[in-house]
Amino acid sequence: MRRLLYFLACVALGIGVVIMLSAGTGAGTPFGIAICVLMVLCGVLGGWVRGPIADGAQAPQLAGTGSAVALLSLFAGAMLLWRPALGTGLPMGSFLICLTVAGLLLIPVGLMGRRTDSPQ
């Protein structure tokens, strides 16, 4: 379950990058797709091959990172509602939703798992 949540967080982040880089003329779409594929591959490597998630250990750094990303995305969304001209021409709403989802998925991933006595 934990590996799947981590993988879904990587996919959500990759989709957000594709959305942002394909805005406007769409010139950044191939680069965005490449970044998305890289994020998904890193999610597979981090979740199933190597790292604290693959080892089944807790990763409180991921929980902290996820909460920071979700909070900053919510602040950016509030700023976008306050000053809508900031996101003119960019799909900021979709991008921020993807970032918030990725951040919220990282919180339980970091808190689940077995405790380790040695600091990482």
3-state secondary structure at position 114: strand
Distance CA 67, CA 52 (A): 18
DSSP-derived 3-state class of residue 24 = coil
- According to the model, what pLDDT value does residue 119 have? 58
Question: What was the pLDDT predicted at 53?
Answer: 81
- Rounded Cα gap, residues 54 and 36, in angstroms: 21
Q: Is residue 119 part of a domain?
A: no
pLDDT of residue 35: 84
Residue 90 is predicted with a pLDDT of 82
Whole-prediction pTM value?
Answer: 0.81
CA distances in angstroms from 45 to 39, 81, 84, listed in the order given:
10, 37, 38
For residue 2, the model assigns a pLDDT of 84
Predicted pLDDT of residue 118:
57
Crossing angle of helices 92-111/2-21, nearest 10°? 160
Give domain status of residue 65, yes or no.
yes
| Tally of domains within the chain | 1
| Residue 116 forms part of a structural domain | no
- Residues in the chain predicted with pLDDT less than 50, given as ranges, are none
Residue 120 lies in a domain: no
